[in-house]
Amino acid sequence: MKRIIKSRLDDHIVDLYDRIDDVKKEICVIKNNHLKHLGSTLTKLENKVDKLYWSIFIGMGSLILTLIGLFGNFLK
């Protein structure tokens, strides 16, 4: 097993602290920037899904009413 020289150990510790600082910065960017945009994006997507749902609902309703009207004429 190799022995780690004290100066190399210090370099490794400094490198680890630098990496931890980089991770903290990236977490801060994600919290402050990306999550704020995510909320507005989800709201836009929700509105589009609602419009699609109501369009399908109204289209099916008009189709059903048309079919009832057609079959009502055949039954008379």
Q: What is the pLDDT of residues 15-39, one digit of tens each?
A: 888 899 889 988 887 777 777 777 7
Residue 54 has what pLDDT?
96
Residues in the chain: 76
Residue 50 has what pLDDT?
96
Locate 41 and state its tokens.
Answer: 């994006």
Handedness of CA 46, 49, 54, 57 (dihedral sign): negative
